Amino acid sequence: MINASRVGTEAFGADVLLQIERIHVGIHGGDVVYLGLGVGELRFGIGEFGLGLGALISKLGRAVFPLRQTVGIFSLAAFELSAALIDLRLALGKLRRSGIKRGLTARETLVGALGSLAELAGQGLPVVAVDADLTGSTTTKKFAEAGYADRLFNCGIAEQNMIDVAAGLATTGNIAFTGSFAVFGTGRAYDQIRNTVCYSNLNVKVAPTHAGVSVGPDGGSHQMLEDISLMAGLPNMRVLVPADYAAAVAAIRLAAETPGPVYVRMGRASVPAVYADGVELELGRAYTLREGSDVTIVACGVEVEQALAAADELAAEGVSAEVIDAFSVKPLDRATIVASARKTGRVVVAEEHGIHGGLGTAVSRALAEECPVPMRFVGMDDRFGKSGEFEELMAYFGLDSKAIVKAVKSLTLK
């Protein structure tokens, strides 16, 4: 008999979630762990890796997977996919043999930053973690494994309850960090974040992972591109968007040391290091990573590395670009951005987020009030994401360094 309490979304970090027509089948460690109603979709993942339906079919071809497991009173035997017959056991074997990385190293991905809670706890900070059945994917389980199992609370697949539990823990003197994926941790739980956490100005740190198109193959339903807008619009909430792993660790520490609600946005994709290990970042500060005279590129999150790459390409063409990391989206470092705009006279804002209500909105408001200059915006233009590899999606949606270069040239060539 399978323990049916291990359900659904944990499969994102632990192997397979299959949704076909009106049936859900979740698989964990070879066992069927969940059966229920759902929509026609198939997702496949190993650790932090996933494949969309089209990619999986093209890689593996057609096969049949007989399911011979039991969940409660439900039994499945010889279940066939009518659209594409995929042998999921064969898929697991092929992917493992192909050398695909099972997750990404902490040096490359921001996700592992939540594991740094153990260091904060060791220094005497009363930090606790509250998750929603994704402790493996968000790495909050590392906090428990480091000797703080009594400080990790897994609420199951109940993100709204997760926020309320964190709020309750905060009222008793704890610094509560919440996990989950961004689409669930901010979208599904928005009402609780607004009315329970922010309205009462509680010491809760909303720190989900898997934000933006970095979720890749999980598709548009899981690519959260409105979270900065949602969180920045809340009174009392601060918003931090780190560019790499070192910055994410710094953001977790900064959030813990900052009284009141803080949102820390972290993606899943592997990104090059921008900052040195042990860097300390400040609330309300932006950081000039490269000086220039012809144009200012203001970026946050994964777009910071893209902005630096764009600056290199522009330099080869004789255009001097200043690159600013707006790590603290709210409060925004107006002084640094305005001073740069006065110097260069042109500004491009780049963010892996919708262009409505995110970093671009904050920067344009600051410049409209203090230093109006020509501007361009690189971001998701009023659309949802779709399945694909991270790098492919960045290019497809015009979020990569080439898109930044194009935006700069539209300003400098006029």
Active site residue 159: yes
Can you point out the beta strands (E) in 4-56?
15-20, 23-28, 31-36, 41-46, 49-51
Name the DSSP class of 145: I
What residues contact 396, with CB distance under 8 A and at least 6 apart? Answer: 386, 388
Is 200 exposed, middle or buried, given 0-12, 13-18 or 19+ CB atoms closer than 10 A? middle
Strands 175-178 and 152-154: unpaired
Name the DSSP class of 270: B
Name the DSSP class of 376: E
CA dihedral (208, 213, 219, 221) in degrees, to 10, reads 50
Alpha helices for 15-63 (secondary structure H): 53-60
Taking the C-alpha atoms of residue 348 and residue 298, their distance in angstroms, rounded to an integer, is 6
Q: Is 128 helix (H, G, I), strand (E, B) or coil?
A: strand
CB contact at 8 A, 31 and 67: no
Find the catalytic residue in 159, 226, 305, 351. Answer: 159
Give me the active site residues, please.
159
